[in-house]
Amino acid sequence: MEIHSGSHSAVEIAGVDNSVATLSPWSQSASRPARLNARLGCALAFLAVLGAIGISPALTGLWDIWTSDPLQSIGMLIVAAGFVLTLRVWRQWNWELRGTWWGILPLALSFVLVNLRHEIAWSLIAGIKLDLFAPKTCLYLFGSGVVLLFAGTRVWRQAWFPLALLLFAQPVPAFITTLVDLPLQSLAAHIARSFASLIGFPPTNPDLLHLMFTPDFGMFIAPGCDGMRGAVTMGYAALIVGYLKRVSYLRWFFYVAGAVILGHLFNLFRLCALVLYYRIALGHHALEHVAKQADYVIGGSIILVAAFLLIWLVSRKEPGEEREAARPSQPSSAVALSYSAVCGRAAAFLVIGLLFAAPGVDAFRHYRKSFAASIRDGEVTRADLDSFMPRQIGDYKLNRIGQEESNGRLTVESAAYTTGNSGEAIVGVWLLPSGHTMHDSWRSRGQGPEMRDEVIFATANGVSVRFDTAFYSDGITDSFAGTVYCTPTSCSPSHPVNRVRMEFALDPIDFSTRGRRAVSIFFRIEKPHSDKPRAAVYNQLSLEAQRFVAGLDFTALSRKFQ
């Protein structure tokens, strides 16, 4: 009886288990750990695209930076590398899904920050400007949120470097131009001239000056030929290679520093090769007319050699060098998510994405209707830009008018005015949607600002405007210049960079939204160089500037460039 009872009991238990399995098949699959398969991968890719629409204001801002500045354009490759390397880390962990709900926090924060960018701003300025709500910050928060929400903290920790690359979407900080770029431009020009003298082709030779500094013949040797773009590209390449090789931090530092130095060194070889080419081409019209293409061939070949040398150096096997990322030996306490848990997180992501998709689409529509886009698409022509400038300002009459280009894009509309025996007065407008100050442009051309300060001038209709002003003198021309940001209703100064302050604004300046965007406007008073004391020349030009801007309505000019 006992044996029979035990057997009967076992059958009953088996029957109960079978009935549970038959009645609740979903509960069994829901509790099974999920793995990333093709369908689930496509669903997550769709959510990522939806999220990208939500943060489109940040992406369009980065696109403007990448396509308007050759030095920053490498940022798009850095972001792509960060994305690919993050997937590589996830694949090394077999696409495990151990996500945490904490990923919602950075994900939602990225959406909030990017959509409140035109309503709130927070930046720290201490010699350099650190924008805490910058597009790259929002991009990093978005990437971290997605990884945490689905892959989990273990993958997020292992992918720290690829995710950190998103913070280099703007790869070269603005202060590099002042601290590094300009001194290197001066050094490159000095070395090129010294080499020309060494080979018996001194820069005092009028023919050489024509060759080196006339765009009709070839390329400029200075400024702007310091090899910064090549050095930055090689530096980031070495940074990524050092990560992939898992070298020590000290060797990693030497990789990057060596790559940057190598890029600048080979650029000096390029400049010397160009001087040789100019020496050979002089008097041979066929060679003169292809100088620009020769510069590309010479520069490309030399940088290619530098790149191969870098690859050879970093690919050498060193004793004790780790070749692959080591997985943690200790067991993880995290539990793989079930399909129902993954679906729950995906649903939360979907809700957040849908909440911000409409503002993102609206922001992209405004971007397409921006002033810069209207110029690019031909809706606003050069003739239209010229017509926006006043024909007379006070007793100053229009003398000449035109535009400046950079990398194929119109960047500045300017007009020059004269009156009596006074010097020339220039008014200009920065056309791109950014908080640009012309002091930065002049500095990049080798014109260092002196006596820079904020000065209040009375403009048309007695409106007082605070300008960011500076004095310039190159031994040939003395000038006094000022810049300001103006919306259709008010003006605010573009602050000097040498002040320490924290800015927190509930209504920050908007440089992109057409109809209410801030326009960067500048003026410049120029006269032939005088041997008088600097202070006396400064005061004279300052009085002339006050006289000139008194006849100009800056808010009205801003309305024309909306």
How do residues 179-230 score in pLDDT, each as one tens digit? 776 667 667 767 777 787 787 766 555 554 444 444 444 444 444 455 778 8
3-state secondary structure 403-447: EEEECCEEEEEEEEEECCCCCEEEEEEECCCCCCCHHHHHHHCCC
Confidence (pLDDT) at 209: 47
Number of Cα atoms under 13 Å in the Cβ half of residue 426: 20
Identity (one letter) of the amino acid at 80? A
Confidence (pLDDT) at 385: 93
- Residue the block writes with tokens 């131009």: 177
Confidence (pLDDT) at 222: 43
Residues 246/85, Cβ–Cβ less than 8 Å: no
Name 125's bridge partners. 129, 501
SS3 category, 264: helix
Summarize the confidence of residues 367-378 as an average pLDDT.
78
pLDDT at residue 506 tops 70: no
Residues 151/97, Cβ–Cβ less than 8 Å: yes
Confidence (pLDDT) at 119: 66
Is residue 162 reached through a cis peptide bond, with omega within 30 degrees of 0 on the bond before it?
A: no
Q: Which of 555, 558, 554, 552 is nearest to 514 (CA)?
A: 558
pLDDT at residue 534 tops 60: yes
pLDDT band at 148 (very low <50, low <70, confident <90, very high): very high
Residues 221/213, Cβ–Cβ less than 8 Å: yes
pLDDT per position as a tens digit, 308-356: 777 776 666 655 544 444 454 444 555 678 888 888 898 999 998 888 8
pLDDT band at 141 (very low <50, low <70, confident <90, very high): very high
SS3 category, 129: strand
Residues 534/362, Cβ–Cβ less than 8 Å: no
pLDDT at residue 361 tops 50: yes
- Residue the block writes with tokens 């993954």: 342
- Cα 560 → chain centroid: 28
Beta-carbon contacts of 89 under 8 Å, excluding residues fewer than 6 positions away, are 155, 158, 159, 162, 325
Confidence (pLDDT) at 31: 55
Least confident span in 2-6, 39-43, 230-234? 2-6
pLDDT per position as a tens digit, 507-516: 678 887 888 8
Mean pLDDT, the chain, integer? 78
> Of the spans 113-127, 133-147, 188-202, 393-407, which averages the highest pLDDT?
133-147
Residues 479/439, Cβ–Cβ less than 8 Å: no
Higher pLDDT, 384 or 506: 384
**Domain spans, the chain:** 36-152+334-368, 175-315, 382-560
pLDDT per position as a tens digit, 1-36: 334 444 444 433 344 344 334 433 334 445 566 767
Name 427's bridge partners. 415, 523
Confidence (pLDDT) at 131: 73
Q: How far apart are CA 435 and CA 292, in angstroms?
A: 33
Least confident span in 101-110, 269-278, 383-392, 472-481? 269-278
CB neighbours of residue 16 within 10 Å: 10
Q: How far apart are CA 81 and CA 85, in angstroms?
A: 6
3-state secondary structure 339-387: HHHHHHHHHHHHHHHHHHHHHHHHHHHHHHCCHHHHHHCCCCCHHHHHH
Helices (H) and strands (E) in the chain — how many of each? 22, 12
SS3 category, 473: strand
pLDDT band at 255 (very low <50, low <70, confident <90, very high): confident
Summarize the confidence of residues 521-545 as an average pLDDT.
90
pLDDT band at 482 (very low <50, low <70, confident <90, very high): very high
Confidence (pLDDT) at 126: 56
